[in-house]
Amino acid sequence: MDQTGHQITLPYLPKRIVSLVPSQTELLFDLGLGDRIVGITKFCIHPREQVKYKTIVGGTKNFKFDVIDQLQPDLIIGNKEENYKEGIEQLQAKYKVWMSDIYTLQDALEMMQQVSQLTGTEAKAGQLIQSIKSGFENLQPAQQSIKTAYFIWRKPYMAVGGNNFIHHILCHCGLENAFADLDRYPEITPGKLQQANPQLILLSSEPYPFHEKHITEFKELCPQASIKIVDGEMFSWYGSRLLQAPAYLQRLMQEVKGDL
């Protein structure tokens, strides 16, 4: 049973895996399954030296079904939010498709455990899960709640609302999401941002590639706020990249403490 309630039966350990989600692709490699991965998306960029030898099956929201058919996978791994419903349903009609549905760190750890059971890599996953748990248990959150706006897109501005994985990570850091009362990834007008009056604005490196040059336009809207470019992978990748997240987030919290 996957995290969306869809049941699949595997008669043997999968030997030809297609991954439709970047963070889960990296996880599969870190579980030692590189030789069994036959297809990935164009957004699957880690681990850099290994993914370049894999067949690209399209994007996360536009699959190349003919390429997938040629690969003849015995397991496809996707995610409810990152992939598109129609494409997944089309694949489910022909292949074994396991879907994750992740809102919290616990969801991510359960995904890792279940993927390891599907692929016979439980021992490796157990070590990985324990290391991630330990890292987040040792993460020291901000002592005082800091009202924070986390932006993922420009033109129009889109921020992180409540009920998603990035929101959960912000909470782990002791940051109060300024738009937690809005759902998912709301569009935010300049006026709405000024009205929210956040103390901290985080501009993510993905999916929109915010850079230092964008700080000025946010500074004009919220001159009192501390504004930082952050590594979006550390907030939104829920696979084995979570090993690196606590140390990164701790450094960020130290920087924020020094600025405010």
Q: Are 150 and 157 in contact (CB under 8 A)?
A: no
CATH of the domain at 30: 3.40.50.1980
Asked if the structure places residue 5 within a domain, the reply is no
Does residue 56 sit in the same domain as residue 125? yes
Is 209 part of any domain? yes
Tell whether 174 and 252 lie within a shared domain.
yes
Considering the domain architecture, whether residues 169 and 73 belong to the same structural domain is answered as: no
Phi, psi of 242 (to 5 degrees): -60, -20
| ∠ CA 132-133-136, rounded to 5° | 85
Q: Are residues 107 and 157 in the same domain?
A: no
Q: For the chain, what is the domain count?
A: 2
Angle between helices 165-172 and 105-119 (to 10 degrees): 120
The answer to the question of residue 214 being in a domain is yes
Inside any domain, residue 84: yes
* Residue 118 located in a structural domain: yes
End position of a domain, from candidates 136, 159, 191: 136
Q: Last residue of some domain: 136, 157, 175?
A: 136
* Distance, CA of 9 to CA of 149 (rounded, Å): 43
Residue 10 resides in a domain: no
What is the chain's pLDDT, residue by residue, as a tens digit (260 residues)? 999 999 999 999 999 999 999 999 999 999 999 999 999 999 999 999 999 999 999 999 999 999 999 999 999 999 999 999 999 999 999 999 999 999 999 999 999 999 999 999 999 999 999 999 999 999 999 988 999 999 999 999 999 999 999 999 999 999 999 999 998 999 999 999 999 999 999 999 999 999 999 999 999 999 999 999 999 999 999 999 999 999 999 999 999 988 87
- Is 153 in the same domain as 130? no
d(CA 109, CA 137): 14
* pTM summary value: 0.94
Whether residues 24 and 129 fall in one domain = yes
